[in-house]
């Protein structure tokens, strides 16, 4: 009888050990899944930030282009105004001389 009890005890111990091993494997799998999800989330966040930075840079470049264009237009207007001013001065000077 003692042999049968020891065999039953050993079988129960093996079952318990197997449950613990299975639990540990599940936890390791769960941890691996969570790590993978976290890594993917970090990578997606990084890509989103990179896209946002690139978008902001494109906007900054467009603003700079518009600014440069406006400055060229202003310089052209100033040049034309100075030219017209010089013509008026010349005309006035010619009339007074």
Predicted confidence (pLDDT) per residue in 54-69, tens digit: 999 999 999 999 999 9
R_g (Cα) of the chain, nearest Å: 41
Is residue 8's pLDDT more than 90? no
For 36-96, the three-class secondary structure string (H helix, E strand, C coil) is HHHHHHHHHHHHHHHHHHHHHHHHHHHHHHHHHHHHHHHHHHHHHHHHHHHHHHHHHHHHH
pLDDT of 1 > 70? The answer is no
Round to whole Å and give the CA distance between 29 and 23. Answer: 10
Q: What pLDDT band is residue 78 in, cutting at 50, 70 and 90?
A: very high
């Amino acid at each position: 009888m003692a042999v049968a009890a020891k065999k039953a005890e050993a079988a129960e111990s093996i079952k318990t050990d197997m449950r613990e091993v299975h639990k540990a494997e599940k936890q390791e799998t769960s941890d691996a899944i969570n790590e993978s999800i976290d890594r993917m989330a970090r990578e997606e966040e990084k890509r989103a930030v990179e896209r946002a930075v690139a978008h902001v840079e494109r906007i900054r470049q467009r603003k700079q282009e518009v600014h440069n264009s406006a400055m060229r237009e202003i310089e052209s207007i100033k040049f034309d105004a100075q030219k017209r001013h010089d013509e008026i001065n010349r005309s006035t000077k010619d009339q007074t001389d």
